[in-house]
Amino acid sequence: MAPHRPNLPLAERTRPARLGDLVGNPRARAQLIAFGESWTRSRSPPAVRAALLSGPPGVGKTSSALALALQFGWDIVEMNASDARNEAAIDEVAGRASRTHPLTAGP
């Protein structure tokens, strides 16, 4: 779980910090762990370079993505539905993130 911070909403205070903390859907959890491990095994990007999480609201997509990033020490770049979602806006966020830190894993 996230560190105790009483000023955060309950959903954020109780959000899992590792994929192993998630409850339910062990197959999807195992696939996410394998995806994360594939990035740490070599210096070059793996064959599968993205994961798409889909489902109705409240099933744990955001919690899973954040737990994955925390577990593997990845930086988080988040875009919300209320953000501009055109090519230029996405390129700006992704471009800024890629210039800040490399997008490949490794020592």
What is the chain's length? 107
- Report the domain count for the chain: 1
The residue whose two tokens read 């409240």 is: 58
Q: Global pTM?
A: 0.68
Residue 35 in any domain: the answer is: yes
Residue 56 in any domain: the answer is: yes
Residue 22 in any domain: the answer is: yes
Q: Which residues of the chain have pLDDT under 50?
A: 2, 100-107
- The two structure tokens encoding residue 101: 């830190």
Distance CA 47, CA 8 (A): 38
Residue 19 in any domain: the answer is: yes
Residue 94 in any domain: the answer is: no
DSSP 56-81: STTSSHHHHHHHHHHHHT-------T
Residue 26, H or E segment: helix 26-40
Distance CA 3, CA 92 (A): 31
pLDDT reported for residue 65: 92
Residue 53 in any domain: the answer is: yes
Q: What residues make up the domain containing 19? A: 10-75
Residue 83 in any domain: the answer is: no
Q: What is the pLDDT of residues 63-83, one digit of tens each?
A: 999 999 999 998 887 776 666
Residue 90 in any domain: the answer is: no
